Each structure stands twice: as structure tokens, then as C-alpha cells.
Structure 1
């Protein structure tokens, strides 16, 4: 009789909880996360598919954009200083809606604010200081409750014609060196500012360094002799690579393609919502089911090992 009573009480509590939750909407309600991106084209790349991934899991993302092409931390800070010194100068209001960073920070209450270094400078620790600290202080001034994250950008594709800076006047010689130097710089800044990292760069490297999933250059393709619409075999590339535009062959070893953007979105979602991504149904049509599964595994592994 006592066991039956315990069982009956547990059922009552569960049903009561379900009814209560249904009345408050907590079961079916969608969580909306407001995210301000302080960055450049790499933050745009990494967040491209984030709204679809969130929607697939019943959540919603609202973005604010403090992003400029190729913009390093130094320039973001200098633009903020210009706006402080000359509030009416339009040059200090370069972001969406002709706004300054201070305006974006004060206009809304942000749940998450991210910042990152320009990829070409990501491996040179000297380029982070003191601008990361200054931007952090500015963010905290206007958004004391926001979760601030560093977005660890990725290294360029292995066949890139050049790689990012690792010291003043010195460039990395390989994808591996660029990854290692930039990772070290991001993690040092994260420790100094007591921040967590969105480890997109780690996820890219997990794919690129694994012989089973890595991109391999098509040695049979000669870009100097290529005739439209010929393109190389670029299986497993996370970067844009080769494309034709107006009869001209273009090569982009820096920015992400759909697979890279998807990988970035998975990493971001796992960090922002603290949820697994292995069962996510959404994927870009251009990404195969097999590769999507490998990208989910890489994102999961990167996030598990990427926190400070």
C-alpha cells in the first residue's frame, strides 16, 4: 500500500507539473537569445546558419551587428573613441543603422556579446592588447549582465597562398602554425579577461587535421590553365575555395563555405545554448549527410575541450 501511495503521489506531481508548465508556456515556449556580434566577415560566416539551427531546436536568435569587413580589435576600439570624442561625426557610427558601438550597446539589453580578432592578425598576440581589454571594459559599462565570449576564428585553408601574422612582420608558414598561434593568443586573452571561448577554430582544425575528413588539394587542377567552367575537386573543404565570376577564376582560402558556416553555427549553438548538436536535423543542402555527421562530431569535440 505504501509503495502504491508513493507511485500515485509521483504521478500526481508529474501531471501537476506538466499542467503548470503548459499554463505558463515553459514547455512549448521558444527561448529567444539576443546576440551582439562585434567582428567582421568571419563572425558573419560563423553565424550564418545559427538562426536555422536554433529554430530546429525550438529556439530563436536575434542579432545585432557591429561588424565591418576585415576589422581588427584596434579599429573597433578606435571607432568607439572617435564617437566618444566627436558624437556627431558619422565616421564613428559605421555599424548597421548608422550606429556607433556605444549606441548598439545602450539601445538594447543583450544576452550575449561576442568579439574576435581579424583573422590576418589572430596569431599575433601583440595586436590584441590593449584593445580587447578596452572593448571588454566598454561592454561591461553598458551591459553588466551580458555574457561576453571570445570567438576563436579559424586558420586559412592548407593551400592558401599566405597565412596570418604570428608576430610583428612575420607570417605563419602553414595552416597548422596559423591555427596554433591564433589558438594560443585567443586562450591567453580569455584567461586574462576571464572569458569563455567559442572554439570555431578548434572545430575547423579537428576536421582539417584528420586524414579521414581533411581537405586534399586537387593536384590535377592548374588554375593558370583553367577554362570556364572547370573547377577543382574540393571535397571536405570548409573554405570557399575556387569559383567563377564574370569569366574570372577566383580563389578564397580564407572565408567559410556552406560546410564551414554550418560547422561554425553548430559550435556557436552548442556554446550559446549549452545543448548537444549531434541530433540536429537542419543542414545546408550542399552538405552531405555523411559530412554533416562528421561536422557535428567535430563541433561537439571542440566545445567539450574548448572551455577555459
Structure 2
């Protein structure tokens, strides 16, 4: 069994700070003559949610951005790696080319990428055993193909408080509620980040900091008749960061996992602050579904969460596999 020992590795934080400095120097406030930041995501629908509004935010902030994607709905780190293995065994094997007929190697080899992100499937995010050894293997693979890229872990978020299911926290055991899912998934993401010496995009923390504040949290509508819902009426879902309830024909559908417009907006704000080391509070873009007061709260939370994570990254030890 692979053991992990804590050793000091200040270089990982130092290199990321150098990356941030390079972004700041390469991009002017107007974006004229700026070198685009090339961002590549290895993920699933959660990376799609979190980056939905990132192009609009980056454009307004004057930061040219190119996004590449290797995303499969619901995909885990293990599944992404299984497709890599299939492609390495036989480049002609369709199982090795699940990304629109292309392999991960083909996509990663398309130019030079500045930042490459990895993440776990949300349903497995609370169990650190599910990350190993696949996070390490994907990290090594990315470093082989893009040796100058900064590899980053994208921390996914907990499901909505009224969800019917939560993430796995150990084999045969799942979280009991949103708070436990956030706590366990956060611990797992940070454990893997420490092992690999990687920075974290703290979307999970930002979602929790909004959702756990009584003023801004979503609260289940006590006046709605969930037992006998009548279309087209929907429950009050003010301040929800998740899709929640919607009508699918005559059926009241429920999605407590994926981000709605507000959640996607928060995700994009966190990515913006992280990638450009710049507060998104000055940005005026917001989705039409998000009112101004909530947008201000989301911008403030996104930036404070990014800054907090950066401070923590400087102070904690890094764990490396031996």
C-alpha cells in the first residue's frame, strides 16, 4: 500500500505565485496586446457549470482566455484515467477517444496550456480513497504532455440542503447532510492537493460560505405542497445555488446537484479571482436571473474565499507520495 509522508515543498506555492505574476504581467486592463491565458479542464458537468460565465467575466476584466475541455458528464478521476489507458494501449480504440472522438493526449497536445485542472466526481468527492491512485496518474500524465503547465485541483461543491442523496465518504457509507458532504469532500480535496503539491480552486468552500449563512441561504418553502404539486407553480427557491425544482412536462423534476445561474455565476467568480489574482467585485456582468444584491454577495464571497485559500496554502505542509 502506498504511504504518504509530509515534507516541506515550498516550491509548489512559489511556482504558482510566479504563474500569477506572469498572468498579471501578460495581461493589461484593456486586454490589448495581452497574451491569452490557456485553461484546460479535465472534468465533468461541474467544471462546465463553474466555467459557464467565466468567458464573460474574463472579457469584461480585460483578460483574454482560451478554454479547452476534456469533460464527460458524471466522470470520475478513475474513468478519465481508464480512457487514457485505453488510448495508450491502442490509439485507434474508440474507448480511448471519449471526448468528441479525441483522446486526452490529442486534446492536451493542441498547443501549450498554462493551467490544467482536475477534479473528482461529486458523488465520490467525500472519499479520499476514490482519488487514489488516479489523481496522481492524471497529474503525471499532464506533466509529461505539458511540463510547463500549472496543474490545479478544482474543489466541487456539496449538494443542496434538501437533497435526497449526498456524496460517498467511505466504501459503503455516504454523508448524512450537506454540511457533512462539504466537510468530507473538502478534507479529501485538500489531502490530495497536499499529496501532489497542488493549489485548489475553492468553489466548494465558496458555495458553503453562502449556503450556510442564514440571510443568504436557501430555505425549503414551507408553504408549498410538495405532496401534490400543481403545474406550473414552483416552490420559492430564493438564493438557491442549485437547479432545484423545475417542471419537466407534467412531472416536478428535482436536481439538487448541479448549479443554477447563481451557482454558475459564483463558480465563475471564484475561477476569475483564482486565475487572475484579482477581485471580481468591480465587474458588472451578472446573469439576468441573479439580482443585484445577491450578485454583490456572491462577488464578495468569491474573492474572500480565494484569498483565504491562498493564505492557507502558504501555511500548510505539502504531502508527497513515496
Instruction: State TM-score, norm by structure 1.
Output: 0.90
Aligned residue for 2:265?
Answer: 262
- Alignment map for 1:172-183 (pairs within 5 Å): 172-183=175-186
- Change in Cα spacing, 1:102 to 1:245, as seen in structure 2 (3 Å) is same
> What is the distance in 1 between the residues matched to 2:31 and 2:115?
23
Corresponding residue number in structure 2 for 1:60 = 64
Is 1:99 aligned with 2:113?
A: no
Aligned to 2:39, which of 21, 35, 48?
Answer: 35
- Which 5+ residue runs of structure 2 have no aligned equivalent? 1-27, 314-322
Give the conservation status (yes or no) of the 8 Å contact 1:31–1:58.
no
Find out whether 1:154 has 2:157 as its counterpart: yes
Cα deviation, residue 27, structure 1: 7.1
Give me the whole-angstrom Cα distance separating, in 1, the residues matched to 2:85 and 2:216.
44
Q: Which runs of 4+ in 1 moved over 2 A?
A: 24-31
1:253 aligns with 2:256: yes
Tell me what 1:19 maps to. none
Residues 36 and 220 of structure 1, relative CA distance in 2, 3 Å threshold: same
Partners of 1:89 and 1:222 lie apart in 2 by 51
Do residues 88 (structure 1) and 60 (structure 2) align? no
Distance apart, 1:219 and its partner CA: 1.6
Residue 25 (structure 1) shift: 11
Deviations 1:13-60 (A, max 9, x none): xxxxxxxxxxx9987334411111100000000000000000111122
**CA offset at residue 222 of structure 1?**
2.6
2:136 maps to which residue?
133
**Which one scores higher on RCO, CA 8 angstroms, separation ≥ 6?**
2
8 Å CA contact retained: 2:154, 2:203: yes
TM-score (norm 2): 0.86
Q: Residues of 2 paired with 1:145 and 1:95: CA distance?
A: 23
Aligned residue in 1 for 2:192: 189
Alpha-carbon RMSD: 1.6
User: What is the CA–CA distance in structure 2 between the aligned matches of 1:224 and 1:26, rounded to whole Å?
Assistant: 54
SS in 2 for 1:306: helix
Residue of structure 1 in register with 2:293 after alignment:
290
Aligned length: 285
Deviations, residues 182-227 of structure 1 (Å, cap 9, x unaligned): 0001011111111100000000000011111111110222333011
1:45 has 2:24 as partner? no
Greater gyration radius: 1
For 1:201 and 1:117, the matched residues in 2 are separated by: 12
The answer to whether the Cα contact below 8 Å between 1:123 and 1:185 also exists between their aligned partners in 2 is yes
Q: Distance in 1 between matches of 2:77 and 2:151?
A: 15
Change (3 A) 1:233 1:136: same
